Amino acid sequence: MRQSWNEQFAETPDVLKSARREQTVAPVLDFEIGGDEFITMAGPCSVETEFQLMATANRVRRAGARILRGGAFKPRSSPYAFQGLGLEGLKLLARAREESGLAIVTEVMSESDVPMVAEYADILQIGSRSMENYSLLEEAARSGRPILLKRGMMATVADLLRSAQLILDNGNPNVILCERGIRTFETAMRNTFDVAAIALLKQISHLPVIADPSHAAGHRDLVPALARIAVAAGADGLLVEVHPNPDKAWSDGEQSLDFDGFDDMMASLDPYLALREAARLRPMEAVG
């Protein structure tokens, strides 16, 4: 007989749905992630300039985003590529929060930077390349900030859940899982968007699930379709890269939407969001 999901993921019991565990809703400013509201996080890959960040913050807020993303510390594939503005970038993010009212999510790459990043950010992002850096996860957990945990590009669902469990073990219940595409034999796109993982995670875990169609696709023209697929699969929200002038972006320009592209993508989600709301009227099932 087939194992139940609880048996299959027995190593990470606290991330699984059960009669004892309600859906996790992570509080951020005056709203929640994982609740009824669909949450969009949007912004540039990297914080570059004050103009770039403020203009993006204002436009994505108008289109319905709740959270501004932007990297101040960038884990680049090449050590010779732009590595981020560091503290200056964090300060720009804090200013953008003040001006726009958006919450801030930004990546923390090193254990020693956790207190500084936690001072400026509402949510700490653990990047794909850091998903299995357990000492970083422990330190980030102890900051008390909600953690956006991105799936490693070579990580299985079980690996992702192990990292989530570790954060819970360190006293932080507010883990937000993020599917951002994995490496497979397919090379036409930057990564393979594992939409099945979104459906599975929603089925087995009480943690919120965010989809990142930008890093999955690697090409901006595919981002809206992957975003719609993610909503249909039950995601609690999106993480999308947006830039005022994507062709001039200092990182990930090919996959960044411009402002009009972001408006169009957001408008195209409406019918999918309506279906999602209908599906959420059903009570949450515990996994057998």
127 binds ligand PEP (CB under 6 A): yes
Minimum Å gap between C-beta 238 and ligand PEP is 12
By Cβ distance, which residue is nearest to Mn ion?
45
- Pick one of 40, 106, 128, 165: the residue that binds ligand PEP (CB under 6 A): 128
- Pick one of 150, 220, 228, 276: the residue that binds ligand PEP (CB under 6 A): 150
- Pick one of 17, 145, 162, 180: the residue that binds ligand PEP (CB under 6 A): 180
Partner whose footprint covers residue 101, from Mn ion, ligand PEP, none (CB < 5 to 8 Å by kind): none
45 binds ligand PEP (CB under 6 A): yes
Partner whose footprint covers residue 34, from Mn ion, ligand PEP, none (CB < 5 to 8 Å by kind): none
Minimum Å gap between C-beta 155 and Mn ion is 18
- Pick one of 34, 71, 84, 208: the residue that binds ligand PEP (CB under 6 A): 71
By Cβ distance, which residue is nearest to ligand PEP?
127
Partner whose footprint covers residue 75, from Mn ion, ligand PEP, none (CB < 5 to 8 Å by kind): ligand PEP
Minimum Å gap between C-beta 7 and ligand PEP is 30
Handedness of CA 224, 71, 32, 178 (dihedral sign): positive
Q: Which residues bind ligand PEP (CB under 6 A)?
A: 45, 71, 75, 127-129, 150, 180, 215
